Amino acid sequence: MKSVSARGCARGVGHGLLFAAAFVDLAYANDGDGPSWPLVATLLLGGAAVLWPVDRRPPWLTPQLRTALPAVASLVCTADAVLRSGVYFGPGELLILLCLLFVAVRHCPRRAVVGCAALDGAAVLALPVRAFLDDRITMLGYMLIGLLLVGLVVALAAYLRSQDYRRTVAVSETRRAERLSIAADLHDFVAHHVTGILVQTQVARMMADNRSDELDPVLAGIERAATEALASMRRTVGVLRDTDEAADRRPVGDLAGIGGLVDGFATPVQKATLHREPAVPDDLPHEVQAAAFRVVQESLTNVRRHAGDATRIVVRLSYERGRLEVAVADDGRGGSQLPAAAHGGGFGLVGLKERVTALGGELHAGPRVGDGWEVRAVFPG
């Protein structure tokens, strides 16, 4: 609130100075043979172009029109002054033209910026012609001062325009990176659930003939996995449509969600258990919890894909010396019942390693002693 009020105060002071300077111009202009109507028109047009509030500015009042029309009026005023043998030029018109030059360089479209800025700059440099047409040395001195002012204004406006461009590019790149990350999340979530649906459907087909009494839990698991897959996809597609809300709507997991992940993975032929040590805190950084969730999710998905014969999967969460360790181990021998089309693809361990190392952690994946495979990730807490 303080910064907003200070900005409003500064704007009010600037407007007051501009009004005072324009009043000086009109006062001196009226000392001659009467008011110079071209000068009055120039001050009115320029003042309106500079001071018109942004929220009340009509659509037709574009930056090109705002900056070009007062500059043309000023040049006409200069031509009229030459014909009338001298008319005073003052600080009001100079300030208005410099403000419009700033607007032209910073806000005009790329195709119009040179033309509009040239008009405003020419109008500034032409001001001394009105009063010093017969004194070339004085006129050139004032022109040099005007050229210096024009150069300073153009440099400042160009610098701010470049900063605006860099900010726009940075925002665009951030949104693009966020979309790619969300696409990766979409794959992680949906691939996990759909793979589970496929495996449980195959289990259901095998049990339909001789173990029909155990079929209901499998069908319930299929229904749950399908519902979660659809919810994840709908939520993520909504984020992709509106990236401004990505931070609030992006589907992410945490340590608490790992329990549900493990419970949803278990089937009558594959037992999955979670061992979480009491020392594991609940208030770990969100990015660490989300990465740990991804490790478990990707590991369980890989068990389904590459170790369909595994009967026991153990997920362990431990915390020691400020470091969180996540381990997923299975007792499979590499036999898989999934069709070939369901294998491969995705981000896999490569993407998982990127996530872990980006947080300063370590990821190890490899065969266990005896049978099975283990994925272990260590995160700084």
So what's the pLDDT on residue 124?
Answer: 92
Domain boundary residue among 134, 156, 187? 134
Query: Do residues 107 and 63 touch, judged by C-beta distance below 8 A?
Result: yes
Q: How many CB atoms lie within 10 A of CB 114?
A: 12
Average pLDDT for runs of 10 along the chain of length 381: 50 69 70 65 85 84 91 87 70 89 92 93 89 80 91 94 86 68 64 67 64 64 66 58 46 77 79 90 81 88 78 91 91 62 52 76 86 88 68
Q: Is the pTM of this model over 0.85?
A: no
Cα 356 from Cα 86, distance rounded (Å): 76
Question: What is the arrangement of strands in the sheet containing 323-330, beginning at the earlier edge strand?
Answer: 271-276, 312-320, 323-330, 373-380, 362-367
CATH of the domain at 294: 3.30.565.10
So what's the pLDDT on residue 108?
Answer: 92
Cα 129 from Cα 141, distance rounded (Å): 11
Domain-located, residue 145: no
Domain-located, residue 236: no
Domain-located, residue 42: yes
Domain boundary residue among 81, 110, 134? 134
Domain-located, residue 97: yes
So what's the pLDDT on residue 248?
Answer: 43
So what's the pLDDT on residue 343?
Answer: 47
So what's the pLDDT on residue 346?
Answer: 44
Domain-located, residue 103: yes
Structural domain containing residue 327: 253-381
The total domain count for the chain is 2
Domain boundary residue among 106, 134, 162? 134
Domain-located, residue 165: no
Structure-block tokens of residue 196: 């589970």
CA distance readout (Å), 61 to 23, 66, 226: 25, 6, 55
So what's the pLDDT on residue 4?
Answer: 44
Domain-located, residue 353: yes
Domain-located, residue 142: no
Cα 243 from Cα 311, distance rounded (Å): 41
So what's the pLDDT on residue 340?
Answer: 47
